[in-house]
Amino acid sequence: MRLASTALAALLLAVPAMAQPATTTPATANDIIARNLAARGGEAAIAALKSVRFDGKLIFPGGFELTYNETRSGGAARVEAALQGLALVQAYDGKSGWRINPFEGRKDAESMSDDEARSLADAASIAGVLLSARRDGSQTTYLGREDFDGTNCHKLKVVQKDGDEFVYLIDPDSMLEVKVIETRRVRGAVQVTETELGDYEPVAGVMFPMATESGPQGSSQRQRTIIAKASANPDAPASLFAQPGK
């Protein structure tokens, strides 16, 4: 009986040990970026997308709504938000940024400061900041997991060479970005913006969010961008992004 009891005890001790899952290799920033790249559509599809255009609407707090158009091409970007024949234009030509803001009574194009233009420069990338970080000298760090609306997301931090920071939350199932927190320094002041991303759809095989909601961190005032149509490789001449009169 003693021998049988000893054998049974040994078996019971062995069962939980055998049931333990195999040790998995901790995730790294490179692992997550590689999986995100595959989820976005892959290297070849992104490289084949030379330009992209988004058309939809921009909705401000209180329901104030403007038509929205955005074009990206070769590191340049142009964004227009229009209402009743007046169009706010912001553009980056690959080197510098400019704007026209008739809502402030200004009809002529004005140059942006370098700090202001950096945001447009990042937006001009078809691949996006996260995937561009592989080659532009940015530092990437895997920060583990963080809950976002009940989902245990992967958390990545990108620090660009100019010091601007981006913290991404990536859905573990789709491996697509669902939230990004941007920390920028504009005229010496720190600005932190939160953006939530969703409703991803393919554009020539590359996934883009068709709905975003953004605003200053900690503020309930958010603006929403809803994309109704996206076009792959539209005509996007350099003149579209060039500052008028310059």
Three-state helix/strand/coil letters over 182-234 = EEEEECCEEEEEEEEEEEEEEECCEEEEEEEEEEECCCCCCEEEEEEEEEECC
pLDDT at residue 9 is higher than 80: no
Reply yes or no on whether the pLDDT at 76 is more than 70: yes
Position 115 in a domain: yes
Residue 27 is assigned to a structural domain of this protein = no
> Does some domain include residue 71?
yes
Asked whether residue 6 is domain-assigned, the answer is no
At 149, is the pLDDT very low, low, confident or very high (cuts 50, 70, 90)? very high
Residue matched to tokens 């953006």: 195
207 lies in which domain range?
Answer: 47-240
Sign of CA dihedral 46, 51, 56, 57: positive
Return the DSSP state at 25: P
Q: What is the pTM of this model?
A: 0.86
Residue 17 in this model has a pLDDT that exceeds 90: no
pLDDT at 231: 98
Locate 127 and state its tokens: 């691949």
What lies within 8 Å, CB to CB, of 151 at 6+ separation is: 171, 172, 178
- Domain count across the chain: 1
Q: Output 4 or 203, whichever has higher pLDDT.
A: 203
Q: State the pLDDT at residue 13.
A: 37
Q: Are 157 and 146 in contact (CB under 8 A)?
A: no
Checking if the pLDDT of 74 tops 60, the result is: yes
Query: How high is the pLDDT of residue 218?
Result: 87
The CA distance from 15 to 10, in Å, is 9
Mean pLDDT confidence for 178-185: 96
Is 117 inside any structural domain? yes
Mean pLDDT in residue range 26-46: 94
Question: What pLDDT, on a 0 to 100 scale, did the predictor assign at position 107?
Answer: 85
Structural domain contains residue 1: no
Say which CATH number the domain at 64 has.
2.50.20.10
Asked if 77 and 118 count as a contact pair (C-beta separation under 8 A), the reply is no
Is 22 contained in some domain?
no
pLDDT, position 26: 65
Average pLDDT, whole number, for the chain?
89
Residue 163 lies in a domain: yes
Distance between CA atoms of 41 and 208, rounded to whole angstroms? 10
